[in-house]
Chains A and B, each alone.
Chain A
Amino acid sequence: MSEQLISEQQLIELTQSPILSVQNLRTYYHQDEGVVRAVDGASFDVFAGKTLGIVGESGCGKSVTARSILRIVEESGRIESGSIWLRRENASGQIDEIDLTTLDANSKEMRSIRGDDIALIFQEPMTSFSPFHTVGNQIIEAIRLHSDLSVKEARNRGIELLRLVGIPDPERRIDAYSFQLSGGLRQRVMIAMALSSDPKVLIADEPTTALDVTTQAQILELLHKIQDERGLAIILITHDMGVIAEMADDVVVMYLGRVVEQGPVDNIFHDPKHPYTQSLLRSIPSILAEPRTKLATITGSIPHPYNRPSGCPFHTRCPDFMRGTCDQREPQLLPVGPDHKVSCFLYHP
């Protein structure tokens, strides 16, 4: 595909300024039981050709962040404030920046961004496809949504995409139903569908969680390959520190809807600052660990979303809890080094 080959000059320009920039995003769910602050002031930048890893325990707002970017948050959820800047080529071919939060979620413009500029793949490869339509039908639909191709051309493009993501016998597989494919193949089809209209940003929400270890490695490798070929920006959402270590260039650590630490992957792994990041890293099982020692766990569990602790949200579980500070005031995300920020009173009293 020659049309998305970009000049070196453009590449430099693109890698210097973020293609997607999320600033102070707040997405709240308004339910009968109370307000859930699923995302509460998240900020991060995504660069072309780079992978941003978002990591955290389940319920920390990772997936809601992804859905907020695509503006497909469920009915009870709403983006309260913040902005999501997307750099895209407008109709006249100029680079333009738009704030996605200002668009109507169901507007034509937003729909043309979904799938076209930003694509999503996610966790449940079993249920991510409709069992009543062939995978081909669903891919062709995606292709035709963002192009003028005829059904036949779109079908050929679909077969091409399936081949690209490494599906054997794509001419036959395109007419298969999702339940006729294995989990790994399904996730490949999902990736093919996401690539159907050459997105600039790919959001992968726990793309390998439901897969076995070998398939997981293959899928990650595929993502790597596609990224190298196309200069794709990837937002990789996962709870798996191993996946982050393998894939991410930059890492955002989230806890209860907030970014508690962010920085280059090396800093996060080798010089974690936030007690939460440190705990997360400690809880990874390692073959180098001393035998017969207990695996470290984070004490306590995530507080109930209707009842967020006051002050720093992590203070109820924090080993370095400072009474009178952590439970009274909210820490700010501030730099501790080049590109490395942390939100903790240990560093910014």
Chain B
Amino acid sequence: MAEAIESLTGSTQPPDIEAERAVADRISMATQWQLMWWRFKKHRGAMIAAVIVLFFYTIVLFADFFAYSNPRQSDAQLSLLAPQPIIFFDEGEFRPHVLGLSGKRDPQTFKRVYVIDPEKKMYLTLFGEGYTYKLWGLFETNRHLIGVENGNVEEGVFLMGTDLQGRDIFSRLMLATRTSLTIGLIGVALSLFLGVLLGGLSGLYGGWLDGIIQRIIEVVRSIPTIPLWMALAAGMPTEWPITRIYFFITLIIALIGWTTMARVVRGRFLALRQEDFVTAAELAGASQLRIIFRHMVPSFLSHIIAATSLALPAMIIAETSLSFLGLGLRAPAVSWGVLLQQASNVQAVAITPWLLYPAIPVIIAVLAFNFLGDGLRDAADPYG
């Protein structure tokens, strides 16, 4: 198809009718998903976004592997170290390394401080050894993407610097990515469930049920979300374990996100109820359930996928904002918002700007999901 279109645009000369017919046949024979894929491929921004999203979820799957330093181990003496540049060549040879640090005692304050030691070259390797972790809670290993040939990774490599407690920001970022993106995913799944259920009921049965559900949606939407989130999140007792807080945060975020989803689903149901193929299925004596799941849902599944992708950024921002305020996830949990909490003091940030680094993945992820969602939404209507 793509080639055929290029050939069409390439010349003003009418191309061979046979070729055109072949293209037409291919289009008419293609499944809905093929059509979507063809259309999606044309949206370059969405394609790039898809690759970025895949990249993010690879990090989610292998967060500990990408980290090289135990993200929970703090060392006050390594507090607020600046990021180290990677030097790729050593005496004309390709040997990526960073300059290590040596502890010295400050002659005036007698504090132990770390300074860059140009003599202490730490050569980076792939698949080096580091702290021990369990991959997916199953396999115990101590292999990481980055290691150091000579010496201990944890004491010498700080690619993005360290935070106030002397923890390596790069490694924490990897784990934070895992937390923040799974929260978004679970939140979306929950709101999808609520949205499809209530939106479906609303669109399918109409009448008073539709009226009530629509009113509820209106009320929920007119309440300012962040104060409500804050109130709900503030209600979580401080002594709760991380996992429970994590679960409740997703629940809170999903509580508000479902309204958009419900509207999409309801709209599609209303539109499809009038379609000929639904009437045909009814006349053929198909059961209600069969009509819904065999005929209606597949035809708007693509819309739901697009809506899901567009809902994710809001979830990510919500979690980040809440955690940033200290009302969401709390230490020892690590999320983008938790990391950014340290950047809330502007004077401190001016001196140690690397504390703002976690803002970058937030922005990139939100952008990527938006572009992906846009592309999917356009592709969802392959006949439109």
Q: Is there an interface contact between B9 and A310, defined as CB atoms closer than 8 Å?
A: no
Q: Is A337 an interface residue (CB 8 A)?
A: no
Q: How far, in angstroms, from A307 to B16 measured CA to CA in the complex?
A: 9
* Interface majority SS (helix, strand, loop, mixed), chain A: loop
Q: How far, in Å, is A209 (CB) from chain B's closest CB?
A: 25
CB under 8 Å from chain B, chain A span 314-328: 316
Contact assessment for A310 and B14 in the assembled complex, using a CB-CB cutoff below 8 Å? yes
Identify B8's interface contact among A306, A309, A310, CB under 8 A: A306
B149 at the interface (CB under 8 A from A): no
User: By the criterion CB–CB under 8 Å, are A34 and B17 in contact?
Assistant: no
Q: Which residues of B contact A310 (CB under 8 A)?
A: 14
Residues of A within 8 A of B20 (CB): 304, 307
**In the complex, A106 Cα to B225 Cα: how many Å?**
49
Residue of B nearest to A28 (CB): B12
Bound state CA distance, A130 and B17, in angstroms?
43
**Chain B residue, CB-CB nearest to A30:** B12
A284 interface residue (CB < 8 Å to B): no
Contact A307 B5 (CB under 8 A): no
Q: Which residues of A lie under 8 Å from residue B45 when comparing CB positions? A: none
Asked if A309 and B12 make an inter-chain contact with CB atoms under 8 angstroms apart, the answer reads no
Which one of A304, A307, A310, A316 has the greatest number of beta carbons of chain B within 10 Å? A307
Q: Are B9 and A309 in contact (CB under 8 A)?
A: no
Q: Does B361 contact A (CB under 8 A)?
A: no
Residues of B within 8 Å of A35, CB to CB, are 12
Is B206 in contact with chain A by the CB < 8 A criterion? no
Type the 1/0 row for A32-47, where 1 means its CB is closer than 8 Å to any CB of B: 1111000000000000
Cβ-defined contact, A33 with B9, below 8 A? yes
Q: Is the CB of A307 within 8 A of B17?
A: yes
Residue among B14, B15, B17 having the largest count of chain A Cβ atoms under 10 Å: B14
Task: Closest B residue to A313 by CB, please name it.
Answer: B14
Q: Is A308 an interface residue (CB 8 A)?
A: yes
B10 nearest in chain A by CB position: A34
Complex contacts, B9 vs chain A, CB 8 Å: 32-34
Chain A residues whose C-beta falls within 8 Å of the C-beta of B12 in the assembled complex: 34-35
When distances are taken between beta carbons in the complex, the residues of chain A under 8 Å from B8 are 33-34, 306-307
Structural contact, A308 and B14, CB atoms closer than 8 A? yes
User: Total interface residues on B, using CB and 8 Å?
Assistant: 8
CB-nearest residue of chain B to A37: B12
Residue ID in chain B nearest A35 by CB atoms? B12
- Least distance between A207 CB and chain B CB atoms (Å): 31
Distance to closest chain B CB from A254 (angstroms):
19
Per-residue CB contact flags for chain B residues 1-44 toward chain A (1 = under 8 Å, else 0) read: 00001001100101101001000000000000000000000000
CB distance from A90 to the nearest CB of B (A): 39
Q: Are A33 and B14 in contact (CB under 8 A)?
A: no
Min CB–CB distance A81 → chain B (angstroms)? 14
CB-based A-B contact count at 8 angstroms: 20
Describe B's contact surface by its main secondary structure.
Answer: helix
Smallest beta-carbon distance B169→chain A, Å? 45
Q: How far is the CA of A309 from the CA of B9 in the complex (A)?
A: 16
The minimal Cβ–Cβ distance linking B375 to chain A, given in whole angstroms, is: 17
A33: min CB distance to chain B, Å = 6
In whole angstroms, how far apart are the Cα atoms of A309 and B5 in the complex? 17
The chain A residue with its CB closest to the CB of B15 is A307
The residue of chain B having its C-beta at the shortest distance from the C-beta of A304 within the complex is B20
* A35 CA to B9 CA, complexed, in Å: 8
Find chain A residues with CB under 8 A from B14 CB.
307-310
CA–CA, A57 and B282, complex, Å: 37
Instruction: Give the chain A neighbours of B17 by CB distance below 8 A.
Output: 307, 309, 316
CB-defined contacts of B5 to chain A, threshold 8 Å = 33
Q: What is the minimal beta-carbon distance from A76 to any residue of chain B, in angstroms? A: 13
Question: Which chain B residues lie closer than 8 Å to A304 at the CB level?
Answer: 20
User: Smallest CB–CB gap between A318 and chain B, Å?
Assistant: 15
Once the chains are docked, how many angstroms separate the CA of A32 from the CA of B5?
A: 9
Q: Which of A89-107 contact B (CB under 8 A)?
A: none
Smallest CB–CB gap between A316 and chain B, Å?
8
CB distance from B15 to the nearest CB of A (A): 7
Residues of B within 8 A of A316 (CB): 17
Complex: how many Å from CA A304 to CA B9? Answer: 14
Most-contacted residue by chain B among A32, A35, A306 (CB, 10 A): A306
Contact pattern, A 13-51, Cβ under 8 Å of B = 1, otherwise 0: 000000000000000000011110000000000000000
- B11 CB to closest chain A CB (Å) equals 9
B382 to chain A minimum Cβ distance, whole angstroms, is 15
CA distance A307 to B14 in the complex (A): 5
Question: In the complex, what residues of B have CB within 8 A of residue A308's CB?
Answer: 14
Q: Which residues of B contact A307 (CB under 8 A)?
A: 8, 14-15, 17, 20
| CB closest residue in chain A, given B20 | A307
Looking at the assembled complex, report how far the CB atom of A28 sits from the nearest CB atom of chain B, in whole angstroms. Answer: 9
Q: What is the CA–CA distance of A34 and B11 in the complex, to the nearest angstrom?
A: 8
Instruction: State in angstroms the CA–CA spacing of A310 and B9 once bound together.
Output: 17
Complex CA–CA separation, A307 to B21 (angstroms): 11
Distance, CA A304 to CA B19, complexed state (A) = 13
Interchain CA distance A304-B12 in the complex, whole Å: 14
A77 to chain B, nearest CB (A): 15
Closest-CB distance, B19 to chain A (whole angstroms): 10
Within 8 A of B (CB), among A288-318: 304, 306-310, 316
C-alpha spacing A308/B9, complex, angstroms: 14
* B60-80 at interface with A (beta carbon < 8 Å): none
**Chain A contacts of B15 at CB under 8 A?**
307
**A32 to B20, alpha carbons, bound, how many Å?**
17
A14 to B9 CA separation, bound complex (whole angstroms)? 46
With the chains together, A309 CA to B12 CA distance in Å? 12
CB-contacts of A148-191 with B (<8 A): none
Within 8 A of A (CB), among B131-152: none
A2 to B: closest C-beta gap in Å: 53
For window 308-359 of B, CB contacts with A under 8 Å fall at none
Query: How far apart sit A316 and B9, CA to CA, in the bound complex (Å)?
Result: 23
Smallest CB gap from A327: residue in B: B17
Give Cα A307–Cα B22 distance, bound, in whole angstroms.
13
A33 to B1 CA separation, bound complex (whole angstroms) = 12
Give chain A nearest CB distance to B28 CB in angstroms: 13
CA distance A33 to B5 in the complex (A): 7
Besides the known contacts A34-B12, A307-B8, 6 further A-B residue pairs in the complex with CB atoms under 8 A apart: A32-B9, A33-B5, A34-B8, A306-B8, A307-B17, A309-B14
Interface pairs (20), CB distance under 8 Å: A32-B9, A33-B5, A33-B8, A33-B9, A34-B8, A34-B9, A34-B12, A35-B12, A304-B20, A306-B8, A307-B8, A307-B14, A307-B15, A307-B17, A307-B20, A308-B14, A309-B14, A309-B17, A310-B14, A316-B17
Closest 8 CB pairs of A and B: A34-B8, A35-B12, A307-B20, A308-B14, A34-B9, A310-B14, A307-B14, A306-B8
